Amino acid sequence: MQLLALQTLQRYLDHAVEHPDLASGNRSHSVDMRYAWFAALALTTAQTLWLLVGRHAIWQRSINSILRQHQSFMESGHFMCDDFDPDFVSLLRTRFPGLKCADPNVLRTPDH
């Protein structure tokens, strides 16, 4: 599990290096398609790590770091909560009380 988690984190970090403008997650403006893609990748990575090794403190720090970088996305109303494990979403709601789930019945794109 540790090796799979490390590989998962490394793939995410490779994307972060390729897209440093998206990796910071520091968004004061609206969510565009590129950032929505990257944020979804980041949150999927965090969820995968949480499922694989989330009980280990050293991995919790990595997960928290990824989540903190994309708090604004989770609070933007573009986050598709239904695409994630319900227990993971509950964890996010606890850590980020401002989390706003997108309405799965409304097809919308970032910036609209």
pTM: 0.88
In a domain, 8, yes or no: yes
pLDDT by residue (tens digit) across 41-85?
Answer: 999 999 999 999 999 999 999 999 999 999 999 999 999 999 999
In a domain, 7, yes or no: yes
In a domain, 102, yes or no: no
- Amino acid in position 13: L
The pLDDT assigned to 60 comes to 95
| Number of domains composing the chain | 1
Angle (CA) 54-15-23 rounded to 5° is 80
Q: Mean per-residue pLDDT for 6-23? A: 94
In a domain, 109, yes or no: no
In a domain, 43, yes or no: yes
Domain that holds residue 9: 2-23+31-95
